[in-house]
Amino acid sequence: MTKKLMNRVAIITGAASGIGQAIALRYAREGADIAIVDIADGTSVCADIHRLGCKAEYFKCDVSNEAEVSHLAKNVIDRLGRCDILVNNAGIYPLAPFEEISFKDWKRIFEINVDSQFLMTKAFLAGMKERRWGRVINLTSTVFWLKIEQYTHYVSTKAANIGFTRALSAEVGSFGITVNAIAPGLVKTRTSENSPLAGMFDVLPNTMQSIHRLEEPEDLTGAAVFLASDDAAFITGQTLAVDGGMVRH
Ligand SMILES: NC(=O)c1ccc[n+]([C@@H]2O[C@H](COP(=O)([O-])OP(=O)(O)OC[C@H]3O[C@@H](n4cnc5c(N)ncnc54)[C@H](O)[C@@H]3O)[C@@H](O)[C@H]2O)c1
């Protein structure tokens, strides 16, 4: 079978675990060289990719920090040559009632979930423009369309991810660059399993989804490959819900 991402270099933020890890492994299987970017240790994900016979490097970086991202950009170009596909996946999703969210908490979640997408895209867009080919894929969430409590700060960041996707796509389409977003539903990852969200694992698939099973990180990988591939060359500015049928738009 033809591999869909042969000869591409993909950077995936937050790829040491969860959804980012699943996308990194799937991209490697599709032939891409992979940069695992994470504040946490990504060496074991790299080792898994090497066992597949594919190329991967781990870069430790806080993607909300401008100086670290600038250093990372130089390192990635030195080691992997370029970035064709950027998956802005790193994010946090702590629950808190609005009254308990401090201004410091509010700013920190925006730094990690929103500023990171801005900084990483800034760092790699110029190269994509020069080569007149590029893919930017931003992780948002279906919570944007749902009634959900204790998530004012998080939902606001995920709305910003959608706005960023839509607005940027208009400026870069003529350079062969597409910018799209993926909106997962409730996904079982180590982080969600260890949060109050785990309390919804049994109930939500049967009550809110059309497909009555819990979403796994691997469920996101087909959409991530498609949007990164040449098959999706004429799709941009879109947000694709991959949530078992929770929202329709
Ligand atoms: N899990 C869900 O139910 C769910 C649902 C909808 C959307 N999402 C979105 O998907 C994305 C991934 O979520 P996940 O569930 O896989 O999370 P996760 O916690 O399993 O993985 C996130 C990764 O991001 C890394 N990270 C966090 N802050 C970072 C920083 N400043 N710099 C670099 N790396 C950083 C973490 O170390 C971690 O490895 C997030 O953007 C999240 O908002 C998740």
Q: What is the pLDDT of residues 117-153, one digit of tens each?
A: 999 999 999 999 999 999 999 999 999 999 999 999 9
Average pLDDT, the chain: 98
Q: What is the pLDDT of residue 249?
A: 82
244 in contact with ligand 1, CB cutoff 6 A = no
20 in contact with ligand 1, CB cutoff 6 A = yes
| Sequence-ordered strand ranges (E) for 47-153 | 56-60, 85-88, 134-139
Q: Which of 62, 89, 209 to mutate to test the pocket of ligand 1 (most atoms within 8 A of CB)?
A: 89
What number does the ligand 1 atom closest to the CA of 161 have?
41
Q: What is the pLDDT of residues 24-37, one digit of tens each?
A: 999 999 999 999 99
Across the range 196-211, mean pLDDT stands at: 97
Residue 154 known to be catalytic: yes
Residue 246 has pLDDT above 90, yes or no: yes
Residue 1 has pLDDT above 90, yes or no: no
Nearest CA to ligand 1 atom 30: 62
Q: What is the pLDDT of residue 14?
A: 98
Nearest CA to ligand 1 atom 2: 187
State whether CATH 1.10.3720.10 applies to domain 9-242. no
Q: What are the backbone angles phi and psi of residue 111, rounded to the nearest 5°?
A: -60, -45
CB proximity list for 228: less than 8 A, separation 6 or greater: 4, 5, 8, 10, 27, 32, 85, 87, 135, 137
Across the range 213-228, mean pLDDT stands at: 98
Residue 200 has pLDDT above 90, yes or no: yes
pTM comes to 0.98
38 in contact with ligand 1, CB cutoff 6 A = yes
Residue 13 has pLDDT above 90, yes or no: yes
Q: Which of 11, 19, 115 to mutate to test the pocket of ligand 1 (most atoms within 8 A of CB)?
A: 19
42 in contact with ligand 1, CB cutoff 6 A = no
Q: What is the pLDDT of residues 98-124, one digit of tens each?
A: 999 999 999 999 999 999 999 999 999
CA of 88 to the centre of ligand 1 (A): 10
CB proximity list for 6: less than 8 A, separation 6 or greater: 30, 31, 32
